[in-house]
Amino acid sequence: MKRDSFDLHACDYSDARGERVSMTSPHGIRFTLVSAGAQDILLDYRKGAAAIWLGLVLEGELHSAEGGDVYGPGALLYGGEKTVLHATFPGSHKLLLALVPTALMRRRLPADLPGQPGLLTRDSAPAILLADLLKSVAANLPEASQDMLSPVEMVLPEFILAAVLENAEAKSLGGAAGRRASMLDRVRQAIEMRLEDPDLRLSDVADQFGVSQRYIQKLFETTGDSFGSYVKDRRLEHCRADMSNPNFADKTISDILFHWGFNDSPSFSRAFRARYGVTPRDFRRSAHLPTPCEQRNCSN
């Protein structure tokens, strides 16, 4: 369990049983399904890489030591790598955990995730869709393959972003700063919808929202970024994901880079190497797509 950052504090030894199934997607999203009896655990990712975690209660009850709250089936909790969850399960339970590297959502998450585990509300459409996706993963995880996880890891970060941003408290996004954060999120979503367009320009996005180009640039400057850098980075991330996706094995590197809006191979190769430290050709040649037996780690 320590491999998945679980620290078992106590358990009911008269009902000491448990099963854990873990898989890691090609881009490092780790899914862990735990079924066990009564126990007291500490979920602590502080020693790992920057990530956001999600915990979906599938069966039983989770009692949070931090706030004294009780969460039943369907509750979806989240937090950053600095957020520790001390949970007590008074009886049999099933829990799905997903650990998502923040690199997959680079520069797109709120600056500060909650210090305590947060609850994604059930009346939020993005949170409902996110929970449904995770339930599907949980139902299929014991027999899952890389082919199944590849499309999941493509959409999961987008669902997380939409759910977390919608869940942000009004006071934390209030005033002028809140309005700018809200507008920046809308701009980023608009860009995401048009990444495949090689003619996407700053002026297009400014016109879409009825604001000046300078205003859009200032929005990105609040996060130490720029419009051009953000667009290029998002395109690179999609290209990298497609090049390691077995579903696109028949696509050439040129097919992929042109699909995501790059205009020529040389500039793409330079940008890719600067971002990831390896050429696209070498990355694709060395990309290892583990078999289900290599990725799955089951214990009883």
Which tens digit of pLDDT belongs to each residue from 112-138?
Answer: 566 677 888 777 788 888 999 999 999
> What's the confidence (pLDDT) of residue 83?
79
Using CA atoms, how far apart are residues 242 and 153, in angstroms rounded to an integer? 11
Q: Determine the average pLDDT of the residues in 28-56.
A: 84
Mean pLDDT for the chain overall: 81
Average pLDDT over residues 186-203: 90
pLDDT for the residue 144: 76
In this predicted structure, what is the pLDDT of residue 160? 85
Q: What is the mean pLDDT of residues 218-225?
A: 87
> pLDDT at position 73, please?
93
Q: Which of 54-68, 94-108, 156-170 has the highest mean pLDDT?
A: 54-68
Average of per-residue pLDDT across 9-17: 55
pLDDT at residue 284 is higher than 60: yes
Beta pairing partners, 19: 35
Q: Is the pLDDT of residue 293 over 50?
A: no
Mean pLDDT over 193-216 rounds to 93
pLDDT of residue 214: 94
Look at residue 246 and tell me whether its pLDDT is greater than 50: yes
Residue 289: pLDDT above 60? Answer: no
Cβ atoms within 10 Å, residue 219: 21
Q: Which two tokens stand for residue 191?
A: 């860009």
Least confident of 78-92, 224-238, 245-259: 78-92
- Torsion-angle region of residue 229: left (phi > 0), alpha (psi -120 to 50) or beta? alpha
216 is written with which tokens? 């859009």
- Of 208 and 28, more confident: 208
List pLDDT tens digits, range 222-232: 888 899 999 99
pLDDT above 90 for 80: no
Which long-range contacts link 60-64 to residues 24+ away (Cβ below 8 Å)?
Answer: 60/89, 60/90, 60/91, 60/92, 60/93, 60/94, 61/89, 61/90, 61/91, 61/93, 62/87, 62/88, 62/89, 62/93, 62/95, 63/87, 63/88, 63/89, 63/90, 64/117
* 119: phi then psi, degrees, rounded to nearest 5: -110, 125
Helix (H) or strand (E) holding 56: strand 51-59
Kindly indicate the confidence band of residue 202, based on its pLDDT and cuts at 50, 70 and 90.
Answer: very high
Q: Please give the pLDDT value at position 263.
A: 93
Angstrom distance (rounded) from CA 300 to CA 298 = 7
